[in-house]
Amino acid sequence: MDLYGRDLLTTQEWSKAELDAVLQLAANMKRNRFSDEYTSILKHKTFLMFFYNPSVRTRQSFESAATELGGHAQFLEPKAMRLKTAKTAGETVEDAARVMSRYGAGLGIRILEDKISAYGEGDELLREYARWADIPVISMAHDKYHPCQGLADAMGWAEWFGEGPGHGVDTSLLKGKKLLVTWGHGALARSWCSVQEALLIGSRFGMDVTLAYPQGFDLDSEVISWTRQNCVENGRDFAITHDVRQGYDGAHVVYSRHWMSPQAYQNGEFLKQQEIEKGLEYPQWICDAERMKLTDNALFTHPMPVDRGHEVTDEVASGPRSCIYDVAENRLHVQKALMALTMAGN
Amino acid sequence: MDLYGRDLLTTQEWSKAELDAVLQLAANMKRNRFSDEYTSILKHKTFLMFFYNPSVRTRQSFESAATELGGHAQFLEPKAMRLKTAKTAGETVEDAARVMSRYGAGLGIRILEDKISAYGEGDELLREYARWADIPVISMAHDKYHPCQGLADAMGWAEWFGEGPGHGVDTSLLKGKKLLVTWGHGALARSWCSVQEALLIGSRFGMDVTLAYPQGFDLDSEVISWTRQNCVENGRDFAITHDVRQGYDGAHVVYSRHWMSPQAYQNGEFLKQQEIEKGLEYPQWICDAERMKLTDNALFTHPMPVDRGHEVTDEVASGPRSCIYDVAENRLHVQKALMALTMAGN
Amino acid sequence: MDLYGRDLLTTQEWSKAELDAVLQLAANMKRNRFSDEYTSILKHKTFLMFFYNPSVRTRQSFESAATELGGHAQFLEPKAMRLKTAKTAGETVEDAARVMSRYGAGLGIRILEDKISAYGEGDELLREYARWADIPVISMAHDKYHPCQGLADAMGWAEWFGEGPGHGVDTSLLKGKKLLVTWGHGALARSWCSVQEALLIGSRFGMDVTLAYPQGFDLDSEVISWTRQNCVENGRDFAITHDVRQGYDGAHVVYSRHWMSPQAYQNGEFLKQQEIEKGLEYPQWICDAERMKLTDNALFTHPMPVDRGHEVTDEVASGPRSCIYDVAENRLHVQKALMALTMAGN
C-alpha cells in the first residue's frame, strides 16, 4: 500500500485498509514514541500549517508531531496572504500552492466558522490547494470534515474496547458497537466537521449509528447519505431521532457535541450571535449521568474543547468512562502516522 | 537531587541547593554551549510557551534554549484559546493542561500587565495550570515573580565578582555583598515580577539588601516579608528607604528599574495611563554616574529592556561596570539548565 | 574567501566573486538538497527573523532554509518590541541587537510599505541593527533592496540559459543578455526593493538593461546611477524608456512588476489609496503574449506574488517560458547558501 503523496480531506475518501494502516502505525508510534525508528522520518523536512482559524490543540499536536518525526512544522496565519478573490487583487491558489510545493513536504489547512461565508467554501478551498499542490494536503479541520479527529476517535474507542490506551488498536472491536452522536446545547456555534467525521468513520468501521438532535439542526445531507450507505454496506443500523433520550438506549459510545444550524450562513455572513441564541434554547440537550445509565456502560467521547455544563456534565466528562484525554492524545499519534505515510517518501 | 517534573514559579519555593544546581549546570552549558553532552537532552521533545503577553527577549531565549537542547519550543498566543470564565463558555484549565501534558515536555507561561485584572491573578492562573499539568510549569514572567530572571541575575553578578562571564559561577561570592534595588522613573508602568525576584534571590544568597523607592510605590508585602526573613536567616541586613541617594552607599550591585504603584489595578482594570503619569512625577529617581560614585564600585544590573534616560543614564548603562548584556545572555543558559533538569527524564 | 559574519543588505555591496560563491553553493545545495554535507551546518543554531511586515513566501523559504541546515528560524513580529523612538520610551536598537547577538547566529529583517514613514527609513533601521549586532544582518526585503530575491533571480535566469533548473548555475551565461524591467499596472502599491535589486544584479552580471515605466514612476536615483555604472564597467547598455513596447525588442528576460510612485510617502504617511488609484491609471502597462513576441524568446520572470491580469496575462505567467516557480524555489537555495557562508563559522 503506497500512501505517499495522498491528500486527506475526509476519511470517507480513503479505503478502510488505508485507514487501518494509519491506525496501526499510530498505535506502534504510541507504544514507542521516541524510538529511533520514527524520529528521522521527516528529518529536516517542513510541514506547512495554514491556520485561517486559530486552534491550540490542533496546532500543538501537529507541531509536536513534526518535531517528533525529526522535522519542523511552520505555523502560518494566511491573513498575511494576499489571495486573489473576485473583488481584490492578489495571488492565485495555483501560484501559492506551486511555490509551497517547492519548500515543504506537506500542507495542512484549517478553515471554518467565521473564515468562510458559506458552508462548503472551506472544502472548496482545500480542494483547490490539493489540485495545484504537488505535496499532500491534509485537513486540520474545515467546514465539512475533520479526518484527523475521526481517526483519533476511532483509535481511542478501539483502545478502550481492547486492552486499553497504548496497548494497540484493533478496529474490528468497533463492529456492532452502537455509536450515539447527539447534539448538545451551548453558546459556541460550532462547525459540523467533527461530528460529521465521527458519523463517517464510525459507520465505516461497522458501528450501528444513531444521530440525535432537536428539529432544525440537520447536518450535511451528503454526509448523512454516506453514513447510511456505510451502515448498509456493513449490515448495520442507522437512525435519526429528535428525542433527547432515545438514542442512549444500549449505546457503547456517546458523543455529545454542540453544532450550529443549517441557517448559520446567510447571504455570505456567519450569523454567530443568532446561532448562539438558538444554541441555548434547548437546555435539556445535555449528556448527564442519568442518561448514561441507559447505555451499555458507554464511553463518553468528545473532540474537545468540551463545553462543560452545556454539552455534558462534569460528572460524565471527568468520569471513569470518559476517554476524552486519550482521544486528544491520539491526535498526535494519528497525525504522526499520517505524515509518515503521506510525506516521507522511501 | 531530582528536579524532574518540578514546577518553577519563584526561586523562593526552591531550596538554595536546587538553585545552585541550576546555576552550576548553566555555567557548564555556557562554557560548552553546543557540546554533544547537551544537544540531545530534549531531542524531539516540545516545550510549550504560552505568551499571554508578548516579549521578544523571553521568547528568543526560551526558543533558542529548546533548540540548543535538541528540542523545539512552540510559540503559542492563548488569545486563541477559548478558556471558560465566570462569564463565558470555554475550556477549563484542567482540560487544557491535561491534554498539553500528553503533547509537551514542559509548559512556560507569561502573564502580567494588561492581561490580568488584579495583582495576583497571573500567579493564580499559573498555579491552576501547575495543579492539573503532569509536566513542569515554568514562569516566563508573571505578575508576582520572574524566577528565570532572578537566576540570570544571580549568575551574572557571581560571574562578575569571580573570574568573569563564562568562567564559572560561585554563588558564595554574593555573600555579604550589598544589593540596592531602586525604583527609577519612567512611562512604562512595569510589573513587579523582576524586582521582586531580585529581592528574593539576592537575599537567599546572602546579600545585604536595600530597597529604595518614593512613597507610594510599595511592593508585595509578602515578598518583603520573605526578603526580610531570608536576610535574617543569613545574618544580613534588609532596609527600606525613600531617600533617592542613601541606598547607594557602599552598594556592590545597583538594580534601578521602574515599577507601577499598588494602585495600578482598580475594580478589575489596569490603569496604565494613570501609572504612566505617576511614574514620570519623580524625575530625580534615576541611576547616574554621580550616584554610582557613592557605591563600592558597584555593578549596574537590569533585566532589560532598559528605559535609558529614565531608569538610568546612558553613561552608566553602557559603562564599564554594566553587566546587563551578560545577565541577558544568562537567561539562555539558566533556562537551558532548568529545562534539562525538570523536563528531560533520565 | 571568508564570508563569515558578513551582513547582506544589497548585492551591490558584495563583490561579484562573493555573489558567485553564494550561487555556486546554492546550486550544489539544490542538487543535493538533504545531503548530510549540509544538514548539520546550522545544527542547534537559531536564525532570528524580524517581520515588521508579513510575508508568506519569505517566511516559508527562510524558515525551511534554517530547518534544512539543521537549525531553527524564530518567527518574530517586532510589533511586540517596545523600541525607543523620538516620541516614545523603549529599548534602543543597540540594546536589542547586542542581546540578540548572544542568542542567535544571524538576524533577518523585513521592513517596507506601511511600516515605514519615508523611503529609506527601513534601510536606516537595518544599518543601525548591522552596526550593533555581532551577528550577520540579512535583508529579508526592505524599502530599498531585496538581495535574496536578486540572487534567486540571477540563479533562475542562468539555470534557464544553461542546462535547466537543478543542473548548475553559470552566471557567465547572463553576459550580453538583455534584461527588461518594466512597470506593470495594479492595485498593490508595491515597494521598489525587488525591481531595484534586479537592476543591480542584472547589470553586475553583464546584462544589457532596459528600464521601462510611465512618467511619474521613477525609482531611487542612486540605484539608477549604480545600475548605469555597473553597465559601463561591463561594457553593456543601460536605457530608460517610457514607451510601453519599446523595451521588449530583443529582450532575453522580461521582468514585469508594479511599483509605487516616488510620491507614495508624504509627511510621514504612506498614501496607499492614492498609489492604488495611480497604479490603475495605465492599463496598457501589462506584459502579454503579443509583446513577448517582440523579444528574443524571452523568459518571463517575477518575484511573486504575481498580480495576474495587471502585471502580466495568465498566458504569459503560465506559459512555457515563465521561470517564476523556479526563481521562487531558488529563494530557498540561495538563502541556505547565504546562511551557511555567513553564519556557520568553521
Average of per-residue pLDDT across C133-143: 98
CA distances to A341, C40, C166, C285 from A346, rounded to whole Å, are 9, 21, 21, 48
Residues C88 and C155 in one domain: no
Residue C33: CB atoms within 10 Å: 15
> What is residue C80's predicted lDDT score, i.e. its pLDDT?
62
Residue C248: CB atoms within 10 Å: 24
Q: How far apart (Å, rounded) are the C-alpha atoms in residues C287 and C248?
A: 9
B89-108 per-position pLDDT tens digit:
678 999 999 999 999 999 99
**Lowest mean pLDDT: which of A77-86, B277-286, C47-56?**
A77-86
Tell me if A145 sits within 8 A of A197, measured CB to CB.
yes
Q: Provide the chain C residues 255-294 that lie in CB contact (below 8 A) with chain A.
A: none
Tell me if A239 sits within 8 A of A180, measured CB to CB.
no
C43 touches chain A (CB under 8 A): no
- Domain-located, residue A105: yes
Residue C160: CB atoms within 10 Å: 19
Tell me if C130 sits within 8 A of C98, measured CB to CB.
no
Residues A309 and A333 in one domain: no
Residues C120 and C153 in one domain: no
Contact A60 B100 (CB under 8 A): yes
Q: What band does B254 get if pLDDT is binned at 50, 70 and 90?
A: very high
Q: How far apart (Å, rounded) are the C-alpha atoms in residues B125 and B116?
A: 10
Looking at residue A275, which CATH number applies to its domain? 3.40.50.1370
Tell me if A21 sits within 8 A of A3, measured CB to CB.
yes
Q: How far apart (Å, rounded) are the C-alpha atoms in residues A328 and A56?
A: 12
Tell me if A118 sits within 8 A of A270, measured CB to CB.
no
The whole-angstrom distance between B187's CA and the closest CA on chain C is: 7
Residues A160 and A285 in one domain: yes
Is residue A338 over pLDDT 80?
Answer: yes
Q: What is the ipTM of this complex?
A: 0.96
Crossing angle of helices A16-31 and A147-161, rounded to 10°: 70
B9-37 per-position pLDDT tens digit:
999 999 999 999 999 999 999 999 999 99
Print the domain residue range for A125. 11-145+329-343
Interface mutation vs chain A, best among B42, B44, B50, B129, most A CBs within 10 Å? B44
Residues A127 and A211 in one domain: no
What average pLDDT does chain A have? 96
B102 touches chain A (CB under 8 A): yes
CA distances to B74, C272, C309, C313, C344 from C283, rounded to whole Å, are 46, 18, 10, 12, 48
- Domain-located, residue C272: yes
Is residue B1 over pLDDT 90?
Answer: no
Residue C346: CB atoms within 10 Å: 3
The whole-angstrom distance between B3's CA and the closest CA on chain A is: 22
Nearest neighbour of C100 by CB, restricted to B60, B63, B308: B60
- Domain-located, residue A169: yes
CA distances to B67, B333, C71 from B338, rounded to whole Å, are 14, 9, 22
C96 touches chain B (CB under 8 A): yes
Average of per-residue pLDDT across A56-69: 97
> What is residue A294's predicted lDDT score, i.e. its pLDDT?
98
Cell numbers found for residue B77: 498566543
Cell numbers found for residue A309: 455544563
Residues A196 and A115 in one domain: no
Q: Which residue has the cell 538563502?
A: C335
Interface mutation vs chain C, best among A43, A46, A81, most C CBs within 10 Å? A46
C267-312 per-position pLDDT tens digit:
999 999 999 999 999 999 999 999 999 999 999 999 999 999 999 9
Residues A48 and A195 in one domain: no
Q: How far apart (Å, rounded) are the C-alpha atoms in residues B147 and B50?
A: 16
Residues B175 and B135 in one domain: no
Query: Roughly how many angstroms between the first and final C-alpha of chain B, as a whole number?
Result: 13
A184 touches chain B (CB under 8 A): no
> What is residue B81's predicted lDDT score, i.e. its pLDDT?
65
A163-205 per-position pLDDT tens digit:
999 999 999 999 999 999 999 999 999 999 999 999 999 999 9
- Domain-located, residue B279: yes
> What is residue C91's predicted lDDT score, i.e. its pLDDT?
87
Contact B80 A310 (CB under 8 A): no
Residues A157 and A134 in one domain: no
Q: How far apart (Å, rounded) are the C-alpha atoms in residues C333 and A103?
A: 10
- List helix spans (H) across chain A: 16-31, 56-68, 93-103, 121-132, 147-161, 193-204, 221-234, 272-279, 289-292, 314-317, 324-343
Residues C196 and C77 in one domain: no
> What is residue B79's predicted lDDT score, i.e. its pLDDT?
73
Residue B83: CB atoms within 10 Å: 16
Name subunits touching B (3+ CB pairs < 8 A).
A, C
Residues A335 and A291 in one domain: no
> What is residue A84's predicted lDDT score, i.e. its pLDDT?
65
A20-59 per-position pLDDT tens digit:
999 999 999 999 999 999 999 999 999 999 999 989 899 9
Q: How far apart (Å, rounded) are the C-alpha atoms in residues B258 and C22?
A: 47
Domain count, chain B: 2
Please give the helix or strand (H or E) that residue B31 lies within, else none: helix B16-31
- Domain-located, residue B3: no
> What is residue B345's predicted lDDT score, i.e. its pLDDT?
78
A258-295 per-position pLDDT tens digit:
999 999 999 999 999 999 999 999 999 999 999 999 99
For residue B95, list chain A residues with Cβ-Cβ distance below 8 A: 304-306, 308, 324
Is residue A86 over pLDDT 90?
Answer: no
The whole-angstrom distance between A206's CA and the closest CA on chain B is: 29
> What is residue B121's predicted lDDT score, i.e. its pLDDT?
94
C175 touches chain A (CB under 8 A): no
Nearest neighbour of C72 by CB, restricted to B67, B188, B325: B67
Q: How far apart (Å, rounded) are the C-alpha atoms in residues A62 and A65?
A: 5
Q: How far apart (Å, rounded) are the C-alpha atoms in residues C289 and C291?
A: 5
C183-210 per-position pLDDT tens digit:
999 999 999 999 999 999 999 999 999 9
- Please indicate whether residue C169 or residue A56 has the higher confidence score (pLDDT): C169
Residues B227 and B307 in one domain: yes
Residues sharing a CB contact under 8 Å with residue A53, sequence separation 6 or more, in sequence order:
A110, A111, A112, A113, A114, A115, A141
What average pLDDT does chain C have? 96
- Domain-located, residue C83: yes
- Domain-located, residue A231: yes
Average of per-residue pLDDT across C143-148: 98
Q: How far apart (Å, rounded) are the C-alpha atoms in residues C87 and B173?
A: 42
Contact A80 C54 (CB under 8 A): yes
C246-276 per-position pLDDT tens digit:
999 999 999 999 999 999 999 999 999 999 9
Average of per-residue pLDDT across B101-120: 96
B17 touches chain C (CB under 8 A): no
Nearest neighbour of C306 by CB, restricted to A79, A95, A103: A95
Residues in chain B: 346
B82 touches chain A (CB under 8 A): yes
Contact A100 C67 (CB under 8 A): no
- Domain-located, residue C3: no
The whole-angstrom distance between A76's CA and the closest CA on chain C is: 8
